[in-house]
Structure 1
Amino acid sequence: MTRTSFTFLVHPRTRTGEDLARVWRPLGRVPEKVYDTALRRLPLPPVTIAAVEVGGEQVGHVVLVPFGARHLLEAPAEGRARVARAVDRAVALGSGVVGLGALTATVTAGGASLRSRTDIAVTNGNAFTAATVERQARDALDRFVTTGGRRVAVVGATGSVGTAVSRLLARDGGVEHLVLVSRTAPRLAGLAAEVGARVPTTTATDLRAVAAADLVILLTASADAVLRAEHLAPGAVVIDATQPRNTSPGLLVERPDVLVLDGGVVDVPSLRLHGSDIGLPDGRAYACFAETAMLALSGQRRHFSIGHPGLDLVDRTRGLAADLAHLGFVPAAPTSFGRPVERAGVLEAGVAA
């Protein structure tokens, strides 16, 4: 197998200072308003913040796009320009594959704005994210849902990951009812007509509809927490696969009956980041990061997941993961806001405190 190297793109999330402190601790002392002004107005270059090691070998880099989550959502044209410069940085580093982390995928339309690049392969990481989240959803239904139902709500259903997850749940069965939630009603109707042929399906553009679900899969693109206590049924389980995440730890205080699981996280035991971390401990990665690494380790040199991945591409990532099973690339053991989950509804001490 001929390997290539990869670069994964990240950006500051909701609390810019907290994320930049991972690069250099004193940066955490700078007021948030200063960062907001600086990131908007200054032509800051992308920065290589970590080297990536898997299996004892350096296989890639992490590059920071100097534009925060709100900036990317509020100024997408400037965001695309900054992502493009970060891709240039990936090429300069000698990478064969670049992965679009978090909202760098959203602002480039899932990588569509980079499709013309011929100097590097691009992936948004959404195919393996969908595969991972669907497996986590089925595990949660079997292990953590105590209401006796198998009604699943997908919030952000018409997005790149949401569409694939909805199709997987419908294709592979085991779900009693699907509630598809999205702000884009025309796309929602089309997706519902497709998956509704396999499983009873309802649609909504309002988050209050998730009160009908035993399991809620959160796949939205927002800089803030969007799912609140009043939206959820008694005993509901939530899989939050968003970055920046769209649930708050305060939800567990308001609703101790609710379990919030961290979505889209995989185990790669030999993974080490030398430099800054990206919010996960050694040996764990977000599935979009893992997809980028798998492509590089497999010698991929063509664009992979751009826009909405089809189920054939999702299944292909599962095949790549199986080929690399000696390195891990399997869904991580369940956690809630980074803390291990012991059993249904009962978390390790301190999580819900």
Structure 2
Amino acid sequence: MTRTSFTFLVHPRTRVGEDLARVWKPLGRVPERVYDTALRRLPVAPATIAAVEVGGERVGHVVLVPFGARHLLEAPAEGRARVARAVDRAVALGSGVVGLGALTATVTGGGTSLRSRTDIAVTNGNAFTAATVEQQARDALDRFVTTGGRHVAVVGATGSVGSAVTRLLARDGGVERLTLVSRTAPRLAALAAEVGSRVAVSTATDLRSVVDADLVILLTASADAVIGPEHLSPAAVVLDATQPRNTSPRLLVERPDVTVLDGGVVDVPSLRLVGSDIGLPDGRAYACFAETAMLALSGQRGHFSIGNPGLDLVDRTRGLAADLAHLGFVPAAPTSFGRPVPTPAPAPAPAAAGGVAA
């Protein structure tokens, strides 16, 4: 197996100062309004903020795109230009593969604006993210849904990851009903028609439609929390696979009956970032990051996941993960806002006649 190195692109999330403090602590003291003005107006260069080690070997780098989540969503043309400069940086570092983290994938149309690049392989990481999220969703239904229902809502269903997760859930069975939520009604209708022969499906453009769901999967591109306590049924489970995340810790306070799980996170026990971290402890990675690493470790040549991944590409990432199983690349144990979540204890057996437990 011929390996290459990789670069993974990240950007400051909702609060720029908090993320930049990971690079250098004093940066966390700068007022947010200063960052907002500076990042919009100044041609700040992309920066290499960490080296990546897997299995004790240096295999890649993390490069920061100097544009926050809101900046990318509000000024996508400038965002694409800044991502392109970060890709140039990846080439200069000698990387053979570049992965698009968080909204750098969204603003480039899942990497389609980079398709003409021949100097580096591009992946948006969405194929392995879809594979990971689907597995986590099935595990969540088995472990945390105590009502007996298997009604799943996918918010952001027509997006790159959302459409793949929807197709996986419909293809592989085990779900009683799907509610697909998106702002794009025509694409929703087309997706529902595609999967409707395999599973009961409904569509909506309003979050209020998820109120009956046992499991809500969040796969949107937003800089804010989108799910509130009013949107969820009693004892609902939320799998938040977004970055920036679309749930707030306040949800656990206002709805203690609800379980919020961190989605799209995988275990790679020997993974270490030398320099800054990207919000996860050593040994854990976002699935899009993991996809980039797997491609480099497998000697990928040419673009991989661009735009919406087909299920063939999703299944290929599962094969790559199986080949690299000695290094991990499996869904992480459940966490909620980074904290371990124990599996609920099984319900007590019903009492037998005469009040004696069976």
| Corresponding residue of 2:269 | 269
Quick check: 1:131–1:318 contact (8 Å CA) kept in 2? Answer: yes
Paired residues in the alignment total 346
CA distance in 2, matches of 1:335, 1:17: 25
CA distance in 1, matches of 2:242, 2:342: 23
Q: Which contiguous aligned blocks of 4+ residues in structure 1 show a shift greater than 4 angstroms?
A: none
Tell me how large the CA RMSD over aligned residues is. Answer: 0.9
For 1:214-293, list aligned pairs within 5 A: 214-293=214-293
- 5+ residue gaps, structure 2, are 347-358
Change (3 A) 1:267 1:201: same
Normalised by the length of structure 1, the TM-score is 0.97
CA distance in 1, matches of 2:270, 2:250: 33
| Corresponding residue of 1:350 | none
- 5+ residue gaps, structure 1, are 347-353
Quick check: 1:50–1:275 contact (8 Å CA) kept in 2? Answer: yes
Displacement of 1:344: 2.9
Deviation readout 1:150-191 (Å, 9 max, x if unpaired): 000000000000000000000000000000000000000000
| Corresponding residue of 2:204 | 204
| Corresponding residue of 1:46 | 46
| Corresponding residue of 1:351 | none
| Corresponding residue of 1:62 | 62
Quick check: 1:6–1:59 contact (8 Å CA) kept in 2? Answer: yes
Is structure 2 residue 176 aligned with structure 1 residue 165? no
CA distance in 2, matches of 1:345, 1:229: 25
Opposite residue 319 of structure 1, the aligned amino acid is: G
Is structure 2 residue 318 aligned with structure 1 residue 321? no
For 1:307-318, list aligned pairs within 5 A: 307-318=307-318
Displacement of 1:345: 9.1
| Corresponding residue of 2:121 | 121
| Corresponding residue of 1:149 | 149
| Corresponding residue of 1:305 | 305
| Corresponding residue of 1:29 | 29
Displacement of 1:301: 1.4
| Corresponding residue of 2:184 | 184
Deviation readout 1:204-242 (Å, 9 max, x if unpaired): 000000012100000000000001000000010000000
Opposite residue 171 of structure 1, the aligned amino acid is: R
Displacement of 1:249: 0.1
| Corresponding residue of 1:80 | 80
CA distance in 1, matches of 2:224, 2:179: 22
Opposite residue 315 of structure 1, the aligned amino acid is: D
Opposite residue 71 of structure 1, the aligned amino acid is: H
State the secondary structure of the residue aligned to 1:260. Answer: strand
CA distance in 1, matches of 2:105, 2:345: 33
Opposite residue 128 of structure 2, the aligned amino acid is: F
Opposite residue 185 of structure 1, the aligned amino acid is: A
CA distance in 2, matches of 1:292, 1:169: 24
State the secondary structure of the residue aligned to 2:342. Answer: strand
Deviation readout 1:18-47 (Å, 9 max, x if unpaired): 000000000000000000000000000000
Is structure 2 residue 175 aligned with structure 1 residue 175? yes
Larger Rg: 2
| Corresponding residue of 2:20 | 20
Normalised by the length of structure 2, the TM-score is 0.96
Deviation readout 1:31-86 (Å, 9 max, x if unpaired): 00000000000000000000000000000000000000000000000000000000
State the secondary structure of the residue aligned to 2:341. Answer: strand
Opposite residue 65 of structure 1, the aligned amino acid is: V
Deviation readout 1:253-295 (Å, 9 max, x if unpaired): 0000000000000000000000000000000000000000000
Change (3 A) 1:24 1:83: same
| Corresponding residue of 2:350 | none
Opposite residue 311 of structure 1, the aligned amino acid is: L
Displacement of 1:147: 1.3
CA distance in 1, matches of 2:137, 2:29: 39
Quick check: 1:257–1:345 contact (8 Å CA) kept in 2? Answer: no
